[in-house]
Structure 1
Amino acid sequence: MKKSAWVVLTLMIALGGAGAVFLWRQPAEIQPVKLQAPSQQDTEIDESSGRDLLEYALSGLGETDLNHLQNEIGTYANENDQLRVDDTLFAQYVRYKKALAQLTLPDTSQNIRERLMALNDALLALQSEYFTPEQQAQLFGDENRWRQLAIDKLDIQEHALDEAEQRSQMVQINAELPDYLQKSERNATMVTALIAADSQSEQNRYLRRAELVGESGAQRLAELDSQRASFKAQLDDYLQQRSEILADEQLGEQEKEQQITALREQYFDPVQWRRVEALERIYGQSE
């Protein structure tokens, strides 16, 4: 039995793989660029990295011909030397993506570390087949580091003698990361700890938050908790009354819609209406 490449790609993303990021802007600022497909005209070209630019270009495939994209990526990159991409690299990347879509891994009973190692080895081998070491570092450096970091952490958890040794070794491997990845790792660890604190009592939750983000940060999070609780109570009351309106057989569809709109305006500020409407749909699907 084989795991599809989609599973592979999902694992890559979960471990910090880079993907195209679309940065939205106001329509009035749109300046059409040949590199962009019609559906991308309300977005900015992602120049976060050379790989992000390649992914952005490929996301328009289907609306734009591949040869056209290759020509345009070359022209665009020539005007943006810092991106270090060209039409040749784009062609290599397209071939790599096609090969990646065909990549399969054996579905064995191996533990998670062994499966991750198999994935890591397969991806590194595929990258080496299509790119030079420099290109690999340019396109996949961060992704590969995150995957190796996940493997190192599993090794530590398996072999460290106690929790204190685990923490010490974790600190050591984190210190070997570039500064920006260290910051990202610290943020991810902090978010995980904050989520875990949610299950504690109110007092212990506040104390744990204060340890993680300081006294002022803990206060802001407590205020946010209060706002969320207030909104939830308000939403529950609103949804209950909305259900009663929908169940009233004496009302026509238009009357129901009018009454629900009036109820929504009574309970919520205008800036919340779109959010509430989305929650209504979710609530309706769960009934």
Structure 2
Amino acid sequence: MKKKYLLATTLVVVLAIAVTSLILWLKPDNPSTLSAHDVPFTTQSHAQQTTSLQDPVAVKISSPTEAAEGLSASLQDTELDCALEATSAGQLVLNVNIRRCFEYFLTQIGEKPLTAIDQQVKQYISQNLPDSAATQATDLWQRYLKYREAEGKLQNSGANTDPDHLQRVLNQLIQLRQQYFNPAELNALFGDEITYNQYTIDRLSILDNKALSAAQKAQQLKQRFAQLPQDLQKNLQDMSKLQDLRALTQQIRQKNGSKAELQQMREQLVGHEAAERLDQLDQSRASWQNRVQDYLSQRQSILNSNQAAEDKQQAITALRERQFSNEAERQRAVTYEHFKDQGTNISELLQ
């Protein structure tokens, strides 16, 4: 069975990516050569809708499943991720598929010399696009190679998650891209990626703003999310709310904030009904934590007693059956026993 090759990471997974992935993309590790491991984070949905300005009617010329000659072993038995398109007037359609196509071939670096990949891409373009679109695509490919080489020379400053630093890095990368691509090309190849990463940086800035209360941060995060294009909002909505809730909840708890402050933040971010459900979940979690801690305390008293080992075990088993109402809870309790016996801080595990 053929494996589906996905070069571009989807937005939903990306967000699971968050700051570390952003930094790794912004700052390639290899400063001197193109590398398959330097493939940057890409987004798809909005940019894929961008077509040529010359003709709004796009006609697909090449198929993403047709074969390309001389692929490296790592790309054998994969679907060709190279859906180049031309308009009815024979002009190249500008969208993120072009970048995906280029990066698909570039993953062969390490197995093929760059000169061989260059010829391979040019041959594929000439065979799958009409002459005018092929000329445009070949020119874009040559500039893309120069851009990727220049991108690889950007200095890697490490995992610095400071929003101001990330903003400078993003601005530097955008300026670099502007040297090689016109505005239409820049938007088609990198538009959604830039939009998403700018949102990520703005989100970090809001979370780091010590002048704002948690509720104010929640309000600004919600407003910033609403500024995203609709397709990105659809892809990111659930995960973005979850991340913001976790981050702001952690901030409130670290400073021993009140329950009222926590409730106000949640209502700003997810609404009253959802905030009430989260409060009920907190109560349920707190009840479980108290039961586990009480059980472990009583178990420790049994272990410290002068009873015979067999009697201790029977007493612990009876305690566990009294303390927990079903087998699933008892199994979880046994897991906590093991962690506690190994010296793990159970309070941290129960958070």
TM-score by length of 2: 0.44
In the other structure, the counterpart of 2:34 is none
1:50 touches 1:83 (CA, 8 Å); kept in 2? no
Amino acid at match of 1:116: L
In the other structure, the counterpart of 2:185 is 135
Please, which of 235, 238, 255 is the counterpart of residue 184 of structure 1? 235
Amino acid at match of 1:57: F
Please, which of 151, 162, 172 is the counterpart of residue 100 of structure 1? 151
Q: Is 2:76 the counterpart of 1:41?
A: yes
Q: Is 2:120 the counterpart of 1:69?
A: yes
In the other structure, the counterpart of 1:153 is 203
Please, which of 109, 125, 139 is the counterpart of residue 175 of structure 2? 125
1:160 touches 1:166 (CA, 8 Å); kept in 2? no
In the other structure, the counterpart of 1:18 is 42
- 1:94 and 1:193, CA in 2 relative to 1: closer, same or farther beyond 3 A? same
Aligned pair count? 188
Q: Aligned equivalents of 1:194 and 1:115: distance in 2?
A: 24
Superposition RMSD in Å: 4.4
The Cα of 1:193 is off from its aligned counterpart by 7.3
2:125 touches 2:137 (CA, 8 Å); kept in 1? yes
Q: Aligned equivalents of 1:187 and 1:123: distance in 2?
A: 29
The Cα of 1:95 is off from its aligned counterpart by 0.7
Q: Secondary structure at the match of 1:145?
A: helix
Q: Aligned equivalents of 2:280 and 2:112: distance in 1?
A: 51
TM-score by length of 1: 0.52
The Cα of 1:168 is off from its aligned counterpart by 2.1
- 1:172 and 1:121, CA in 2 relative to 1: closer, same or farther beyond 3 A? same
- 1:123 and 1:84, CA in 2 relative to 1: closer, same or farther beyond 3 A? farther
Q: Aligned equivalents of 1:195 and 1:111: distance in 2?
A: 18
1:5 touches 1:101 (CA, 8 Å); kept in 2? no
The Cα of 1:169 is off from its aligned counterpart by 1.8
2:42 touches 2:193 (CA, 8 Å); kept in 1? yes
Give unpaired runs (5+ residues) of structure 2: 1-22, 30-36, 45-64, 84-95, 251-276, 282-327, 336-351
In the other structure, the counterpart of 1:220 is none
In the other structure, the counterpart of 2:138 is 87
Percent sequence identity is 24
The Cα of 1:94 is off from its aligned counterpart by 0.8
Amino acid at match of 2:76: Q
Q: Is 2:102 the counterpart of 1:54?
A: yes
The Cα of 1:115 is off from its aligned counterpart by 1.1
Q: Which of the pair has more CA radius of gyration?
A: 2
1:153 touches 1:170 (CA, 8 Å); kept in 2? yes
The Cα of 1:155 is off from its aligned counterpart by 3.0
Amino acid at match of 1:53: C
Q: After the TM superposition, which of the residue ranges 30-39 and 153-162 deviates more from structure 2?
A: 30-39
Q: Which has the higher contact order (CA 8 A, sep 6+)?
A: 2
Greater helix proportion: 1
The Cα of 1:209 is off from its aligned counterpart by 11
The Cα of 1:114 is off from its aligned counterpart by 1.8
In the other structure, the counterpart of 1:9 is 28
- 1:178 and 1:112, CA in 2 relative to 1: closer, same or farther beyond 3 A? same
The Cα of 1:34 is off from its aligned counterpart by 2.2
The Cα of 1:60 is off from its aligned counterpart by 2.1
